[in-house]
A and B are shown apart, each in its own frame.
Chain A
Amino acid sequence: MTALDTPTDEVTLTIDGVEVTAPKGALIIRVAEKLGIEIPRFCDHPLLAPVGACRQCLVDVEGQRKPITSCTTPIADGMVVRTHLTSEVARKAQQGIMEFLLINHPLDCPVCDKGGECPLQNQAMSTGAAESRFQDVKRTYPKPINLSTQVLLDRERCVQCARCTRFSEEIAGDPFIELMDRTSDEQVNVYREEMFGGEPGPAGSHSDLGSEPLRSYFSGNTIQICPVGALTSAQYRFRSRPFDLVSTPSVCEHCAAGCAQRTDHRRGKVMRRLAGDDPAVNEEWDCDKGRFGFRYVTAFDRITEPMVRDPQTGALRAAAWSEALAVAAEGLRRARDSSGGVGVLTGGRLTVEDAYAYSKFARIALRTNDVDFRARPLSTEEADFLAAAVAGRQGPTYAEVEQASAVVLAGLEPEEECPILFLRMRKAYRKRALAVHALAPFRTTGYEKLGATVLPCAPGSEATLLAGDASLAAALSQPGAVLVVGERLGGAPGGLSAAVALAERTGARLAWVPRRAGERGALEAGCLPHLLPGGRPVTEPRARAELAGAWGLEAGVLDSRPGRDTGAILAAATAGDLGALVVAGVDPADLSDARAAEQALDAVPFLVSLELRNSAVARRADVVLPVAPTVEKAGSFLTWEGRLRPFEAVLATGAMTDARILDALASQLGVQLNTRDVPAVRAELAALPATDSPRHPPPQVAPAPPPVPADGQAVLATWHQLVDLGTLQDGDDELAGTARPSVVRLGKELATRLGVGDGDPVTVGTGTGALTLPVEVVDMVDAVVWLPTNSPGATVRRSLGAAAGALVSVSVSVSVPVSASVFVSVSPGGSR
């Protein structure tokens, strides 16, 4: 418990005759809740600032000449409050407000998505009169309007509580929706030029979207907190009734934030996902990717049965599990026992249990340390950093970041790469003016919403700043400061070394925030070439002995030589020096050179793919083994904090976890893996002894001189946008429609040299290929050019084969680029 949570001052009051003591400043409505007195409310939300607009929560307070709103009134010593339970005045006031609210409400509960879980419906039952006296004409609107491709608004259902607009402004910082017009015509809307005599919508976009649609990564929360059925998602609208749904607690599989969720399903199909209420992690919020991005599981190319490559035809054909496992085992055995050996690439999306199974499988069934979870640009320095400074460490936590004296961000754009961490930082910024410093090439809207001080920094030169900038050191020297580094800092030579040294020097806490949900878990499970489970260095005899003891192995089975990382494994495959490759959730397009990765997959003699969908890996594999998606299995993720987020299967299907398949594969190889079911893996993980072995030493890589762009060149800056072409977002056009437009950003100086302005096509190229996008001129470090990593028209890895910090050519394009901002057309009204 933090100091702020400790009640310092308490007052005693009476509510409905019950004496209660509560912290000073608490609102009547909250204190009443604690007594079990539920005062009806609409505009009130515990995480939003009080507004007192709906007037539904009126209570009678002694000494006040009129009833007051309990959602805005702080308690006072000796206060005597009477709610609707004991006061006729309060009861009548609440009933009157309810009657007012219902006169302009369509009462279309039988066709409304909210019916059955609707606060208006429920409170009309508890508080309203049975019959309405209203017999006149209701206000009506054409149904519905798009606030974005995803969020739809039925204005006649709205009770103008302003929860959605307040959320967008206060919490998300995306005030694209606002109450407009007045009196009974007051309505929530987006900015529409036609309201002010202009033309509807920008050219090329759907006019229904308005001139400035709700472009927010958190828009789904407005739907969840809407107390009526006014806001619905195009994804869920008219799909099911709440009372037909089965709700299962779950954990989001998208990023390292580890949000608690509630997955609602019906007849074996997920209908929607909602943010769970977890004050320690995501509070009550969720990002749109986490909320809406679940249809990839039911994509057309889902693999449901094992496949082996037919030696005659050379094509994949369906096979029985027994055959597929036998073929896979035989191929792996041959490779293992040959000189090349087997490499294992696990990707960053596995559960802790599955990652552990791969780690163990590689070590004792394949007898190799050639295992790496990093399916992205990486470095040896990063591996050393992870082993030394992250593995086995707890925290800092969300709460510690919220309470931090200062936060320094390096290699991380939290709104794009860890949205819930972004929300927590924004909360701290709004409530207590948290000082945020960010090393970045330009001030993104995310940094803007955090009020961050941006230290202009070309990709690759982070290390120099971390090592030498006095303002950073000063900020981090305050007690409670946190240095947050993203996985991208690993791409800056010396960056992570400098970060460790800076944290050491200033006493600041150090957090590493990867982008994917499974990275932290894979690190702890030992999916690294030089690290065994529990952060044990493979080179340490004591570490190997501890593990050999736990796994019941004879001495010498665990190889003491560090293995090869993802890059080296793929290079070996290309060179013909690798016997076989086991690949889990890896998309070659995520690796720094996508084409080179695919060439490696083509070159390796034997490829086993444990896959969900018919991916670029599965298509090349000799054996494809279908695995269960997150929703169909139990498991755990580790958040970036190192917090364990266990979950059970939402849907009971026959799909098997990676761990179970590896267990079967291992037994074909004559090895007992004991990862058959999740409880067994969890028990084994829990039983692993604490390690006594020395930690891996921290990296000490000197900053490399930043690349110097020649004329016509620039340094590439790039990161993923939250909503992009990621395979886990496949199948949701409405979500894709809320993505930020793909643009190439560059500074004023470079723009002047090129002679381009906003919207002009600019081509960014390398020896591999080129991308042409409309330009957006920003306040950017000179000679740096930014592209989204994996967005429509901006597939950097595949098209450029380059990572951040690389030199790219920049030129004015003669051809007009295909507009990337509107790449999805969605029918209005969400008729699907």
Chain B
Amino acid sequence: MTPSEGALARLTPVLTKRWLSPDAWRREVYEQLDGYTALRKALAAHPDDLIALVKDSGLRGRGGAGFPTGLKWGFIPQADGKPHYLVVNADEGEPGTCKDLPLMMVDPHSLIEGAIITSYAIRANLAFIYVRGEAVHAARRLQHAVAEARAAGYLGTDILGSGFELEVVIHCGAGAYICGEETALLDSLEGFRGQPRLRPPFPATHGLYACPTVVNNVETIATVPYIVLGGAQWFRGMGTEKSPGPKIYSVSGRVNDPGQYECGLGVTLRELIELAGGMQDGHELSFWTPGGSSTPMLTAEHLDVPLDFEAMAAAGTMLGTTAVQVFSDQDCPVYAAYRWIEFYHHESCGKCTPCREGNFWMKQVLRRILSGEGTHADLDTLLDSCENLLGRSFCAFGDGAASPVQSSIKYFRQTYLDYVEGRRPPLFGSPPPRPAWAATELAGAAR
């Protein structure tokens, strides 16, 4: 299916504009395609003006929370005598999210350039890019890009004769979801066990090595050069008033052409599906996530809700990382919830009780329901567990685990009841065997 003109008009290739150019990851190619022109412009400006520019542009964090980027930069205390750090969060781990990896693979220099400009703005002389452990290919490409940038004088001492000095360190994590949480990421970067830190103090004042630190998502930082080149007004020409700018939507699932579609914020699912070549044959939209598994799922009735921060919140969900996962009538929402909770259980860092124990419990209850051994009370238990988890956990990642369960029961209670009441065949056989000690105990009781 060819997308309509209307849908195609929604595409705003800014960050993705070089993605189809061969070898865009090489410095020469990048430079031919406007690369490092923003840096020259930025270095001529005063750092405070850059912070003001980003504030004016209305850029909001692309990592999920949507915090205003300029405001975050402004929190960094200046002339405090401490080193400042920029940490780029490239630990992209949210299920369904796959925008940062291709960006780093195809256009690593845009991230490096953004990091240099940001470091200059916040007066950091050392920047880290924390790459998820599994993404060795991206880390290698970034390392190559850093070497190229250093050779060309974009990194090191006296960058482009400006007197500004910066080193960029590519750090590979070990593949833990929690290390995408900014304070856990900082702990991990410092060499400790990755677990979220108590806040306050916030990273803006006590971040990496207890020094002022900005932690931003890859896409956020990669957006900065375009704002410097295009200006705030140009940036605000895309997206909505409160959610300005372009955004990479990762469309996956039951569509014909899954992939990254960069549109102005506020595009609708209907348009995205159209851009992605429509639903696969024989599949009808059933449910979808607007921004990864941590954002409550939506259904076909939300096809025309704009995918921006405000409209998503109004619809009872979140924009998140704009990981649009499309599920059809052939997908089971209960099983999807179960798999997501399996993920949250596997990835819970263990620090706080609700996330550690709540997911352990919900996973078993969901599996029991899918095995045809659930009860009506289990649904109440699940909802109550979510209530005891949401807003009770140490970090936002724990809260995220409640989303798939709560929203799937909200929209698909009948499917749950079908498993409980035997109208749907069990997905699993019997629940896993009880451990040996329990068997002995029961045998003992029988005697």
Contact = CB atoms under 8 A, between A and B. Distances in A.
A184 B345 contact: yes
A184 B364 CA distance: 13
A596 interface: no
B31 interface: no
A50 interface: yes
A67 B381 CA distance: 21
Contact of A100 (B350, B361, B365, B437): B361
A140 B435 contact: yes
Interface string A561-587: 000000000000000000000000000
B96 interface: no
Contacts of A815: none
Chain A interface residue number, banded: 35 or more
B198 A72 contact: yes
B359 interface: yes
Nearest to B350: A186
B434 interface: yes
B350 A50 contact: no
B69 interface: no
Contacts of B347: 182-183
Nearest to A160: B350
Interface in B143-178: 176, 178
Contact of A183 (B346, B364, B384, B388): B346
Nearest to A49: B198
A726 B441 CA distance: 46
A52 B434 contact: no
A253 B445 CA distance: 50
Q: 8 closest A-B pairs (Cβ-Cβ)?
A: A96-B388, A186-B350, A66-B391, A136-B364, A100-B357, A184-B360, A183-B348, A182-B350
Interface in A322-369: none
22 contacts: A52-B198, A53-B353, A55-B354, A58-B392, A92-B388, A96-B354, A96-B384, A100-B356, A100-B358, A100-B361, A101-B353, A103-B360, A103-B361, A137-B438, A179-B193, A182-B349, A183-B349, A183-B350, A184-B350, A184-B356, A186-B349, A186-B350
A93 B360 contact: no
Interface string A87-116: 000001100110111011000000000000
B393 A55 contact: yes
B368 A136 contact: yes
A179 B357 contact: no
Contact of B357 (A51, A65, A104, A181): A104
B223 to A, nearest CB: 29
Contacts of A140: 435, 437
Contacts of B178: 182
A133 to B, nearest CB: 5
A778 interface: no
B202 interface: no
* Residue of A55, A65, A99, A140 ringed by the most chain B CB atoms within 10 A: A55
A178 interface: yes
Nearest to B178: A182
Contacts of B387: 92, 96
B417 interface: no
A580 B435 CA distance: 72
Nearest to B177: A182
Interface in A33-51: 50-51
Given A55-B394, A184-B345, A184-B356, 13 more contacts: A65-B391, A97-B354, A100-B353, A103-B357, A134-B361, A140-B435, A160-B351, A160-B353, A178-B193, A179-B193, A179-B350, A182-B348, A183-B360
A65 B384 CA distance: 18
Interface string A299-318: 00000000000000000000
Contacts of A97: 353-354, 388, 392
Interface string A58-90: 100000011100001000000000000000000
A619 interface: no
A814 B20 CA distance: 74
A182 B347 CA distance: 7
Interface in B307-362: 345-354, 356-361
B348 to A, nearest CB: 4
A56 B388 CA distance: 11
A766 B374 CA distance: 79
A101 B356 CA distance: 9
Contacts of A820: none
Interface string B401-442: 000000000000000000000000000000110110110000
A19 interface: no
A139 interface: yes
Interface string B180-198: 0000000000000100001
A182 B176 contact: yes
B351 A53 contact: yes
Interface string B373-408: 000010001001101110111100000000000000
Interface in A114-150: 133-134, 136-137, 139-140
A55 B357 contact: no
A58 B388 CA distance: 11
B445 to A, nearest CB: 16
Contacts of A103: 357, 360-361
A159 interface: yes
A185 B350 contact: yes
Contacts of A67: 391-392
Nearest to A185: B350
A642 to B, nearest CB: 41
Contacts of A101: 353, 357
A786 B381 CA distance: 64
A11 interface: no
A159 B198 CA distance: 19
Contacts of B365: 136
A655 interface: no
